[in-house]
């Protein structure tokens, strides 16, 4: 049985998101498959200056916290400014997109539900 | 239906934890009851220099990310140093405690499952 773990976010692999998200990488910090975390998958997303995440929607929510840099998030039809210390909720099935609005890397946590909690 | 929300963590009320956690306050940033977040309750915990959280255990896990200051977390029988950028998982039913180990406020996110996901 896992008692827990501690790691610095830079110790987790940064994986490029792909063509739909130029300049964007994602690190999985804590999850169910590797750590036995039953509820929340904690991920760090890093978007280079000029980069963005895909504009999309899906059937699970995002819970965000901005760590570094400045950006914007589209939630439904409204753009919101994001700065360090901001938390955000993007509800399930809502159109959303994250954009770097600064000249440094935009770093934010993006928690999602563990796979077994996502309604198919 | 909620589409989401954005707030700076300082906009949420800081509530003192109580006598079992000297110098410790907690802000609920995103939850189910107020925001319709179905999975993860996102909270910011702030511990003053010299302060600590209770040493306790409960039937749900903590998912942490350190924002500011330095501290320590007891997980089961092992103390781990915590610095900004560190993520931590404290699994359910594991004895744990957080302590400020610096002379500035120790600030960390502490996510827990939404109430309806906690097994009674």
| A14 within a domain of the structure (yes/no) | no
| A117 within a domain of the structure (yes/no) | no
Mean pLDDT of A47-52: 97
| Chain B: residue whose CA lies nearest to A113 | B39
Contact A51, A23 (CB under 8 A): yes
- The enclosing H or E element of B34 equals helix B32-35
Mean pLDDT of A36-63: 97
| A9 within a domain of the structure (yes/no) | no
CB-based contact A111 B6, cutoff 8 Å: no
| A16 within a domain of the structure (yes/no) | no
B109: domain CATH number is: 2.60.120.10
Count up the domains in chain B and report the number: 1
**Strand order across the A96-100 sheet:** A78-82, A71-75, A96-100
Mutate which: B87, B98, B99, vs A, most A CBs within 10 A: B87
Say what the pLDDT of residue A55 is.
97
pLDDT tens profile B63-96: 999 999 999 999 999 999 999 999 999 999 999 9
**Residue A16: pLDDT above 90?**
yes
Contact B27, B11 (CB under 8 A): no
Say what the pLDDT of residue A6 is.
98
Contact B22, B50 (CB under 8 A): yes
Structural tokens at position B114: 């939404």
Cα separation, B68 vs B85, in Å, equals 9
Q: Which domain holds residue A81?
A: 21-108
Is the predicted ipTM greater than 0.95, yes or no? yes
| B6 within a domain of the structure (yes/no) | no
pLDDT tens profile A65-89: 999 999 999 999 999 999 999 999 9
| A13 within a domain of the structure (yes/no) | no
Mean pLDDT of B48-72: 97
């Amino acid at each position: 049985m896992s008692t827990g773990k501690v790691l610095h976010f830079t110790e987790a692999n940064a994986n490029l998101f792909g063509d739909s998200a130029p300049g964007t990488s994602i690190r999985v910090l804590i999850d169910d498959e590797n750590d036995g975390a039953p509820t929340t998958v904690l991920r760090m997303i890093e978007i280079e200056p000029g980069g963005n995440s895909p504009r999309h929607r899906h059937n699970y929510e995002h819970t965000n916290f901005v760590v570094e840099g400045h950006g914007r998030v589209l939630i439904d039809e409204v753009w919101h400014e994001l700065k360090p210390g901001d938390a955000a909720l993007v509800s399930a099935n809502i159109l959303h997109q994250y954009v770097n609005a600064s000249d440094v890397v935009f770093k934010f946590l993006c928690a999602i539900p563990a796979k077994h909690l996502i309604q198919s």
